[in-house]
Structure 1
Amino acid sequence: MPSEMSTVHLLREVAVQFGLRSAEFAAANGMHPTDVRALICLLDAERAGEPATAGRLGARLGLNSAGTTGVVDRLVRLGYVRRERDPHDRRRVRIVVDERAVALGEAAFGPLIGRIVDLLRTFTPAERDAIHRFLLGTVAAADPD
């Protein structure tokens, strides 16, 4: 059975590999790696049904207001996101990911995601549940708050 530390080292290797893929994607599409992380955060907020605002994005990325504005401005200039007034609260501005950015991400990361899904399907439901719990715990452990 693998040791706890060998599992931690493998998780670190996964993070490095994902970081490399993300940096390659950023470079190929005229983006900064932080821009890619921002898009991921925005897509995750959308999936969770949470409003994506500059304040929440900055908090997720650990950026101050000026840094967040810079990221959003770059993504708007590239046509990957747009600012929209929140229909429920006109004072709030939401950041919405454009479908072109979604398609670009799916083209770049879809094959990797497909291979990971195929791998997960080789595990029993109980094993997938354990993996899921481990990853949720890892996210919680890594959260500085």
Structure 2
Amino acid sequence: MRLVHLLRAVTVEFDLLGAEFAARNGLHPTDVRALIHLLDAARTDTRATPGWLGEQLRLNSAGTTALVDRLERLGLVRRNRDTADRRRVLLEVQEKATELGWSFFGPVIGGVVAAAEGFEAAELETVRRFLTAVLESTERAGL
């Protein structure tokens, strides 16, 4: 249970950081989660459509549209027509959002990277496998 409690503590800290980032930048916590999903999609070459984003956030179509409208108004996200299918809209995180994120979360990310440097590659692989299994477990639970 100590691992469960540690994971909970880390989650609470990240949630607090996300809420502080949102408050400082006039965002809703869901906006921050949306930006994270969109950044992750870009990293994995996933075509992020409004429908896909709504599924990730468990929002209905109207809620997703309002969220994307808000992020677009703030200059954080841009809608682009898919060149392969002009009927489809793709979402792209703008440089402004990335810069905001790095200015706030950069020190935290740097601290995590520095902490990881104190571990052997095999230890980090074990941590990666564990966190992946925990993530898959929570996704299966549908929470």
Settle same-fold status: TM greater than 0.5: yes
Q: 1:91 offset after TM fit, Å?
A: 1.1
Pairing 1:87–2:83 present: yes
Q: How does 1:72-111 map to 2 (within 5 A)?
A: 72-111=68-107
Q: Structure 1 segments of 4 or more deviating over 2 A?
A: none
Equivalent-residue separation in structure 2 for 1:138 and 1:76 (angstroms): 33
Per the alignment, residue 13 of structure 1 pairs with: 9
Matches within 5 A, 1:16-55: 16-55=12-51
Task: Give the C-alpha shift of residue 88 in structure 1.
Answer: 1.4
1:69 aligns with 2:71: no
Residue type of the alignment partner of 1:48: T
Question: What is the deviation of 1:103?
Answer: 0.7
In 1: Cα distance, 2:59 partner to 2:123 partner:
36
Could you tell me the percent identity over the aligned residues? 55
In 1, the alpha carbon distance for the partners of 2:110 and 2:83 equals 35
Q: By how many angstroms is 1:82 displaced?
A: 0.8
Q: How many residues align?
A: 141
Task: State the distance in 1 between where 2:36 and 2:127 align.
Answer: 21
How far apart are the structure 2 equivalents of 1:9 and 1:90? 48
For 1:82, what is the secondary structure of its paired residue?
Answer: strand
How many Å apart are 1:11 and its aligned residue?
0.2
| TM-score, normalised by the number of residues in structure 1 | 0.95
The CA distance in 1 between the partners of 2:71 and 2:102, in whole Å, is 17
Secondary structure, counterpart of 1:140 in structure 2: helix
Q: Distance in 2 between matches of 1:86 and 1:102?
A: 22
Distance in 1 of aligned mates of 2:83 and 2:130:
38
Runs of at least 5 residues in structure 2 that lack an aligned partner in the other structure: none
TM-score by length of 2: 0.96
